[in-house]
């Protein structure tokens, strides 16, 4: 059974700080990784994808991938209260994504 | 641009009643299609996925079924609902020829089902 582990949180950070969200996965064959944001009561929204080891930056978001350690992370710089949501990590397995249960992020003013 | 629709947005059904949820995608062809369920406070559970018309893969044995009668239409059904079927049902699509990239999945707005 392929597994994706995320700390459920909540992770509380002050406005303007860097939020660091972490994810480990069990399938060494995974080559593609995705981060989704889900606001309460809403459907998940894709925010980042990463395919290669290293960092990938998009605006305030940076995804980091280390396939040897089976670890992927998401950094949110200059966190805003509007970033308060649950963040889901999802490695790809053939035609499917395997979702973690998510980390709840709370950004307080 | 691509758009994914789901309806209805909310549904309240009695135990033992049938269910039909529909999902359609616009602006793409031959998408992979997915049905997920999210129970209250829980993670996403993949129920079914389809890589083409009439091709359905089931991930979890249950009283639900799925069909793909057209390229961009995916239907989730049940003959008799159980209380445990309550949840947030999400349809998603991904593009790419023959299962190749891009692999990103995009979700519809979801249907919130309450079985009473």
Residue range B74-82: average pLDDT? 96
Q: How far is the CA of B59 from the CAs of A83, B63, B75, in angstroms?
A: 32, 12, 16
Residue B48 has phi, psi (to 5 degrees) of -145, 155
Interchain contact A7–B (C-beta under 8 A): no
Confidence of residue B98 (pLDDT cuts 50, 70, 90): low
Written as six digits, the tokens of B31 are 């998408």
Contact yes or no for B107 and A43 at CB 8 A: yes
What's the pLDDT at A95? 80
Which of A6, A43, A48, A101 should we substitute to test contact with B (largest number of B Cβ atoms within 10 Å)? A43
Residues on chain A touching B51 (C-beta within 8 angstroms): 95
Q: How many CB atoms lie within 10 A of CB A4?
A: 24
Confidence of residue B99 (pLDDT cuts 50, 70, 90): low
Contact yes or no for B103 and A96 at CB 8 A: no
Residues on chain B touching A45 (C-beta within 8 angstroms): 107
Q: Looking at CA atoms only, how far is residue A56 from chain B in angstroms?
A: 16
Residues on chain B touching A101 (C-beta within 8 angstroms): 42-43
Residue A15, pLDDT > 80, answer yes
Which candidate, A16, A14, A76, places its Cα nearest to that of A48? A76
What's the pLDDT at B71? 94
* A77 neighbors A60 (Cβ within 8 angstroms): yes
Contact yes or no for A43 and B32 at CB 8 A: no
Residue range B2-26: average pLDDT? 95
Lowest-confidence range among A7-11, A32-36, A93-97, B22-26? A93-97
Confidence of residue B100 (pLDDT cuts 50, 70, 90): low
Residue range A42-57: average pLDDT? 96
What's the pLDDT at A23? 96
- Residue reference for tokens 């049938």: B18
pLDDT digits (tens, 9 = 90+) for A64-108: 999 999 999 999 999 999 999 999 999 998 888 999 999 999 999
Contacts of A23 (CB under 8 A, 6+ apart): A4, A5, A6, A71, A72, A73, A74, A89, A100
What's the pLDDT at B40? 83
């Amino acid at each position: 059974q392929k597994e994706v582990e995320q700390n459920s949180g909540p992770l509380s950070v002050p406005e303007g700080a860097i939020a660091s969200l972490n994810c480990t996965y069990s399938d060494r064959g995974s080559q593609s990784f995705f981060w989704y944001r889900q606001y309460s009561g809403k459907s998940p929204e894709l925010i980042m994808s990463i395919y290669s080891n290293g960092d990938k930056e998009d605006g305030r978001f940076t995804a980091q991938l280390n396939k040897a350690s089976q670890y992927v992370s998401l950094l949110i710089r200059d966190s805003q209260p509007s970033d308060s949501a649950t963040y889901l990590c999802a490695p790809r397995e053939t035609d499917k994504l395997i979702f973690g249960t998510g980390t709840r992020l709370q950004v307080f003013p | 641009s691509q758009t994914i629709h789901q309806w209805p947005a909310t549904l309240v059904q009695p135990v033992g009643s049938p269910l039909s949820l529909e999902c359609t995608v616009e602006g793409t062809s031959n998408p992979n299609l997915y049905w997920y369920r999210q129970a209250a406070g829980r993670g996403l559970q993949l129920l079914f996925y389809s890589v083409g018309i009439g091709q359905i893969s089931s991930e979890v044995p249950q009283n639900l079924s799925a069909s793909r009668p057209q390229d961009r239409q995916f239907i989730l059904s049940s003959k008799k609902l159980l209380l445990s079927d309550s949840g947030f049902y999400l349809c998603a699509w991904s593009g790419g020829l023959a299962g190749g990239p891009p692999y990103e999945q995009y979700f519809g707005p979801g249907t919130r089902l309450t079985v009473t």
